[in-house]
Amino acid sequence: MKIILSILFIFIVSTSTLSADSDVDLIQLYKELHLNPELSFKEEKTSKKLATILTGLGFEVTENFGGYGVVALLKNGEGKTIMLRADMDGLPIEESTGAPYASKTKSFNQVGDEVFTMHACGHDIHMTSLIGTVVDLISKRDQWQGNLLVIMQPAEEVSGGARNMIKEGIFEKFPRPDFNLALHVSADLPAGKVGYVPGWAMANVDSMDITIKGVGGHGAYPHTTKDPIVMASQLINSLQTIVSREIAPIEAAVVTVGSIHGGTKHNVIPSEVRLQLTLRSYTDEVRNQTISTIRRMARGLAQANGLPKDSYPEITLKDEYTPALFNNPALTEKLRISFEKALGQENVLKLSPVMGGEDFGMYGRVEPIIPTSLFWLGAVNKKVYDTSLRENISLPSLHSAFFLPDPEPTISTGVKAMSGAVVDLYQD
Which residue in the list 23, 87, 89, 206 is annotated as catalytic? 89
Nearer to Zn ion, 202 or 294 (CB): 202
Nearer to Zn ion, 162 or 247 (CB): 162
Nearer to Zn ion, 121 or 269 (CB): 121
Is 89 annotated as catalytic? yes
Q: CA-to-CA distance for 178 and 43, rounded, in angstroms? A: 28
Whether residue 413 contacts residue 193, with contact meaning beta carbons closer than 8 Å, is answered with yes
- Please give the single-letter amino acid code of residue 357: G
349 beta partners: 195
**Smallest gap, in angstroms, from Cβ of residue 156 to Zn ion?**
6
Is 391 annotated as catalytic? no
Shortest Cβ contact with Zn ion: which residue?
121
Q: CA-to-CA distance for 74 and 55, rounded, in angstroms? A: 10
**Smallest gap, in angstroms, from Cβ of residue 29 to Zn ion?**
18
- CA torsion sign for 328, 283, 152, 349 is negative
**Smallest gap, in angstroms, from Cβ of residue 357 to Zn ion?**
8
**Smallest gap, in angstroms, from Cβ of residue 399 to Zn ion?**
6
**Smallest gap, in angstroms, from Cβ of residue 186 to Zn ion?**
11
Nearer to Zn ion, 5 or 125 (CB): 125
Nearer to Zn ion, 71 or 121 (CB): 121
Residues in touch with Zn ion (CB under 5 A): 121
Which residue in the list 95, 156, 406, 424 is annotated as catalytic? 156
Whether residue 96 contacts residue 126, with contact meaning beta carbons closer than 8 Å, is answered with no
Catalytic residues: 89, 156
